[in-house]
Amino acid sequence: MQIYQFLNLARTVNDNENVNKIILVNLLNKDLVWLYSNLNTIKYDQKFLKKYLALVKQYADGLPLGYIFGYVFFNGNKILVDKNVLIPRNETEILVDRALFYAEKLFASKILNVLDLCTGSGCIAISMALKKANWNFIASDISTKTLDTARLNQNLHQLVNVKLVTSDLFVNLAESKFDLIVCNPPYIEKSSDTYQISKLAHEPELALFADDGGLEFYQRIFASVLNYTKPDFLLALEIGFDQKQALEKMLAEKFSSYFYWFEKDYQNHWRFLFISSKGL
């Protein structure tokens, strides 16, 4: 059977033809130029067709492309993903870029100790460590399975400046003090009707949901973070698009003598919170 016939059959399973093509070139380890040059030439057998259509069906049933391919690109770097980790989002790339920007402004050329709390795939620590080879990173997560995937990413990028630690937030980090703490914690309220929870069905619950209206992790982090920071520090957090107001109340209680500010994502939502001991 020829490639154009594969694509015709795939359309009966999933009507997004671009995705069908991407799944096919990925499976063949080719690119779109190759695909268009070979629509009528090269033939594949029924066994391959079955494998291909099964992947197209998985996509049609809602499995994100990252899980189908087993990787995504985050900040230009390949990050391996599987069912034990959240698929890194574009918004989190903004968190990384802004955190690096502010860290450079606040700390100039100092060599920093950085914590990526709730690291998941390790995407935050890894993309930062690739840019800052002389900084020291700890990437921690409560789940050992999640850290297994982070370790694959650490090995893929051959990073010697990232240490992986299993920890319920700060519990196993007792001896450490950080200049920069970056965290994208779980922040979705389980009963939320503002998120399309069904779209998240394939991702680990542990990575998504938080109690207390989604604020549980911010409460816990705010309660103890100052025990793990150096006198001069930057804390960079991703937040839910509807959490700014509630967080402002919490900040007024705990961080009134510090500098803090929020930033927006590409959709004009308030999605990032920065807290620092120093003004910019």
Ligand X SMILES: C[S@@+](CC[C@H](N)C(=O)[O-])C[C@H]1O[C@@H](n2cnc3c(N)ncnc32)[C@H](O)[C@@H]1O
Question: Which residues within the stretch 170-199 sit at the binding site for ligand X (CB under 6 A)?
Answer: 184-186
Which residue of the chain is nearest ligand X when measured via CB?
120
Contact of 67 with 82, CB cutoff 8 Å: yes
Residue type, 112: L
User: Which residues lie closer than 8 Å to 182 by C-beta, 6 or more apart?
Assistant: 95, 96, 99, 114, 115, 116, 117, 124, 125, 128, 236, 237
Residue type, 45: D
Is residue 52 helix, strand or coil?
Answer: helix
CB of 182 to ligand X, least distance (A): 8
Query: Closest separation between CB of residue 76 and ligand X, Å?
Result: 15
- Residues 196-215 within binding reach of ligand X (CB under 6 A): 206-207
Which position has the token pair 């067709």? 49
Site for ligand X in 111-140 (CB under 6 A): 118-121, 123-124
> Rounded CA gap, 104 and 114, in Å?
13
Shortest separation between residue 231's beta carbon and ligand X, angstroms: 25
Report the site for ligand X in 84-113 (rule: CB under 6 A): 86, 88, 92
Instruction: State the binding string over 223-252 for ligand X (x if CB under 6 A, else -).
Output: ------------------------------
Q: How many of the other CB atoms lie within 10 Å of CB of 253?
A: 8
Given 169, 173, 215, 221, the residue binding ligand X (CB under 6 A): 169
Binding residues for ligand X, rule: CB under 6 A, are 86, 88, 92, 118-121, 123-124, 141-143, 146, 168-169, 184-186, 206-207
